[in-house]
Amino acid sequence: MTLARPAHPTPRERDGGDGAPGRAAGPPPALPRAPRRGATAVTAAALAAALVAAVTAAAMVGSADIAARDVWRVIGAHVLPGGDIEAGTHDAIVWGIRLPRALLAATVGASLAVVGTVLQAVVRNPLADPGLLGGASGAALGAVTVLLVGWSPFGTWSLVGAAFLGSLAGYSLALALASHAGTLSPVRLVLAGVAVSYLLGSLANLLVATADNANQVRSVVFWQLGSLAGAQWRTLGIPAAVLAGSLAVVLFHARTLNALLAGDETAASLGLRPDAARRRLVVVAALLTATAVALAGTIAFVGLVVPHAVRLVAGSDHARLVPLAALTGAAFLVVADIAARTVMEPQELPIGVLTALVGAPLFCLLCRRRLRDT
């Protein structure tokens, strides 16, 4: 199914004159058709194979290259019943360092792609991503506060909890500013989100600029640029559980996302409450954003580019789009992390810088393709 071209309503049609969403001219847009299960399954299987290949390559490549058979021998020894774990260099590198990092990259990439997919439907704006509505800036502010203060009685949970509270505060502030007379306009939500993002980002930068400990400042700045260097097996459970639960919730609301993307009138005609649905989905987006930012820092363009690229191939039905975007985002960030570790070896490039360098030109190409098709 091809990507539908966005409509261009007049300001009065778009905003209803009094700030409330207006009635668009003509009949409401049709919802996307149900996905073709065979084609979706084939695409998902191909993406899953690509993800496995990317994770394998991530475990192979580095300062000491390891053959694929040795990588899988180490994995089999730890995973299969009765596996013979051999303490040695290969086990320490593959199982102790590279594999947790690759799996964290996959989890964070999938989370950011799902957040971007959800927000683009919630606000009906193709430019929506985790950083648009204040979620990423709020999560960064919460995490930076914990990192600089050094108060973490619950270990990793303290960082994730502070990031979640900051992310939820950012999204909530954007929602509050965008609400008017009981309605929630997507246009106002985008504008409010941009303002909140700048505000919270400035507060995080202020904390860094006024910090006394130079070592802490350097680590926070590197973390803000995006880094997966701190990946450990014990920290993988949190983002994996959050991703699995959030995916289940988002897929359950796939038809709701389709209706929101088609417009508030279409959603209301199906018996939905658009504003309430937006708030529920924004909470899910906040949780995914918080875990990703807390464990990997700010990573740009994954939540923006991946949903666009997948939508060109898979269409706009979220029952199909969401899982394919998650797989694509996971594979993309694993490959990006390989490049971040090796392109300037032995120095490591911040992965957020790399994704921005790759994502910006790629997004321009996607925009040119859409403009050519209009």
More confident residue, 302 or 371: 302
Angle between helices 254-262 and 237-252 (to 10 degrees): 60
The pLDDT confidence band at residue 10, using thresholds 50, 70 and 90, is very low
Q: Retrieve residue 320's tokens.
A: 């199909």
Please report, for the domain that includes residue 344, its CATH number: 1.10.3470.10
For residue 31, the model assigns a pLDDT of 53
Structural domain containing residue 154: 40-73+85-373
Q: What does the pLDDT look like over 76-85, one tens digit per residue?
A: 988 888 767 7
Structure confidence at residue 19 as a pLDDT band (50, 70, 90): very low
Q: What is the enclosing helix (H) or strand (E) of 247?
A: helix 237-252
pLDDT range class, residue 224, cuts 50, 70, 90: confident
In a domain, 343, yes or no: yes
Three-class secondary structure assignment of 299-358: CCCHHHHHHHHHHHHHCCCHHHHHHHHHHHHHHHHHHHHHHHHHCCCCCCCCHHHHHHHH
Residues facing residue 180 across a β-bridge? 183
Mean pLDDT along residues 285-308:
89
Instruction: Report if residue 356 sits inside a domain.
Output: yes
**Closest listed residue to residue 30, CA positions, set 324, 259, 272:** 259
* 231 in a structural domain: yes
CB 295 within 8 A of CB 157: no
Provide the pLDDT confidence category of residue 133 given band limits of 50, 70 and 90: confident
Of 2-16, 70-84, 317-331, 355-369, where does mean pLDDT reach its minimum?
2-16
- With respect to residue 26, please indicate whether it lies within any of the assigned structural domains: no
Instruction: Give dist(CA 189, CA 108) in Å, integer.
Output: 25
Q: Is residue 15 part of a domain?
A: no
Q: Is the separation of the CB atoms in 71 and 89 below 8 Å?
A: no
Element (H, E) at 190: helix 186-209
| Proportion of the chain above pLDDT 70, given as a percent | 87
Residue 283 lies in a domain: yes
Of 141-145, 152-156, 300-304, minimum mean pLDDT range: 152-156
> pTM, whole model, 2 decimals?
0.83
Given a cut of 80, whether residue 250 has pLDDT beyond it is yes
**pLDDT of 320 strictly over 50:** yes
Share of the chain above pLDDT 90, in %: 35
Query: Mean per-residue pLDDT for 346-361?
Result: 87
The whole-chain average pLDDT of the chain stands at 83
- Is 372's pLDDT higher than 90? no
**The predicted structure's pLDDT at residue 225:** 86
Digit-coded pLDDT (tens) for 150-199: 777 777 778 878 888 898 888 889 888 887 766 667 778 788 888 999 99
pLDDT in tens, 256-295: 999 988 887 888 888 888 888 888 898 899 889 888 988 8
- Report whether the peptide linkage leading into residue 346 is cis, meaning its omega lies within 30 degrees of zero: yes
Q: How far apart are CA 323 and CA 40, in angstroms?
A: 10
DSSP character string of 33-77: PPP-HHHHHHHHHHHHHHHHHHHHHHHH-SSS---HHHHHHHHHH
Please, which pLDDT band fits residue 37 given cuts at 50, 70 and 90? low
Kindly state the tokens that stand for 232.
């450990």
Confidence at residue 36, expressed as pLDDT on a 0 to 100 scale: 61
| Separation of first and last alpha carbons in the chain | 16
Cα–Cα distance between 150 and 108 in angstroms, integer? 24
Q: pLDDT tens digits for 106-128?
A: 999 999 999 999 999 988 877 77
- Domain-located, residue 100: yes
Which residues, in sequence order, are CB contacts of 102 under 8 Å at separation 6+? 54, 55, 58, 59, 334, 337
Q: What is the pLDDT of residue 373?
A: 60
367: part of which helix (H) or strand (E)?
A: helix 351-373
Question: What whole-number distance in Å separates Cα of residue 206 and Cα of residue 217?
Answer: 11
Specify the number of domains making up the chain. 1
For the cut 70, the answer to whether the pLDDT of residue 16 exceeds it is no
Contact 285, 115 (CB under 8 A): yes
CA distance 177 to 162: 22
In a domain, 298, yes or no: yes
